[in-house]
Structure 1
Amino acid sequence: MALVKTEPYESNFKLLEDKILERAAEIMQQRYMRRGAIHSPSTATDFLKAKLGAYEREVFAVLYLDSQNRVIEYEELFFGTINSASVYPREVIKSVLNRNAASIIIAHNHPSGDPTPSQADKLITNKLEKALSLIDVPVLDHIVIGESCVSFAHEGLLNIEIVN
């Protein structure tokens, strides 16, 4: 006799998976908040993929870092639709100043699974880099999360030089 999956079973299994992923993301965040410094795009990518990878709509997030690249806080700042999210530089600047961040890493997910940065992704990154440069806060990276991840820093897509 073959086991037949029913709709409620699949739904319950998905809920369980989501809870496990949420808990894993919480554990990763606690580790980074306690002792972790972000030293490479891959370190940030691992953390952000756990946080943003399961969303079914676009979510734009910020990792606020201190002068030693330690995570001060992670915040999901803007929520959108299945293929876009409006990002407001003024709100990003306010949140950076409120946390006294020395630098930031921005990230968002592509629910389609294709992490290829869009023209809009490139434009908002450039806009944020310029705005934040006025208050001496560099954007260290913009990471797009999909089935895989794209790091603007790794791909040479950031426009402002970062001095360590």
Structure 2
Amino acid sequence: MCDMKLREKISEYGDRLGMEIYTTQELFSILTGVDADNFGKNDEMQVSNIMLNPEVISGIGKKKAMQIKAVYELSVRMAEHDKRNFGIHGPKDVEIFASPRMKYLQVEHFAVMHLNTKNQVIGFETISEGGLSSTVVHPREVFLSAIKHHSASIILVHNHPSGGLLPSKEDIAITGRLVKSGGILDIPVLDHVIIGNGYCSMKEKGYIPHR
């Protein structure tokens, strides 16, 4: 159960001062009933790892793990909703939008960011999930998603679970194939951004021609 110090804090302040008075560990403790100290250091990596893998924490069973994962998914969806029509002016904007969902994933995910004629985000869809080193992507799924969202253009996004940013041969080959397909369908691929410890723009690296 929650430790005595936290119970006293909850009892003393209640909801009078708002939830921002609690540390991140204390918020996890309130949610699960597990001692706050079990959640370790309060930094971005630790919090994200807890949200994605709560089972590694002492005292967290399957039900509590599902509660934490549900909170994580809700927070990501709310953030994405707030970023609807978020303008994309370069790869840094892509990272800002996509990193909360993709940066700490344990396996490689390939997603498509859908843009309108003003380069505003109108959709973001995961197309494929793969192993740690590769994921299978077919133009059919990518552009079916683009057509469904009425995209004027798209940006490809995938994560490297290792944190590395160097494009693989497969990354380069897939990018070239999808750029050609987009040219035929008149749905241009503006960039392919790799999310890891930072980001890598394959357009900046010269793998996608400047329009």
From 58, 61, 76, the equivalent of 1:9 is 58
Shift of 1:73: 0.8
Q: Structure 1: how far apart are the matches of 2:167 and 2:106?
A: 17
Aligned to 1:116: 166
CA-to-aligned-CA distance 1:40-85 (integer Å, 9 cap, x gap): 2111111111121121011000011111111111101101112111
Aligned to 1:91: 141
The CA RMSD measured in Å over matched residues stands at 2.6
Look up the SS of the partner of 1:134 in the other structure: helix
CA-to-aligned-CA distance 1:75-127 (integer Å, 9 cap, x gap): 01101112111001111122212222110011111111112110110110000
Q: Structure 2: how far apart are the matches of 1:118 and 1:87?
A: 14
Aligned to 2:210: 161
Find the structure with the greater CA-based Rg: 2
From 78, 84, 93, the equivalent of 1:27 is 78
Q: Structure 2: how far apart are the matches of 1:16 and 1:152?
A: 37
Look up the SS of the partner of 1:9 in the other structure: coil
- Is 1:106 the counterpart of 2:156 in the alignment? yes
Q: Structure 2: how far apart are the matches of 1:10 and 1:42?
A: 39
From 83, 93, 114, the equivalent of 1:64 is 114
Gaps in structure 1 of 5+ consecutive residues: none
Q: Structure 1: how far apart are the matches of 2:86 and 2:67?
A: 28
Aligned CA distance change for structure 1 residues 17 and 53 (closer, same or farther; 3 Å): farther
Look up the SS of the partner of 2:203 in the other structure: helix
Aligned to 1:137: 187
Shift of 1:155: 2.5
Deviates more, 1:60-69 or 1:38-47: 38-47
Tell me which amino acid in the other structure corresponds to 1:88. H
Q: Structure 1: how far apart are the matches of 2:95 and 2:155?
A: 10
Matched length? 157
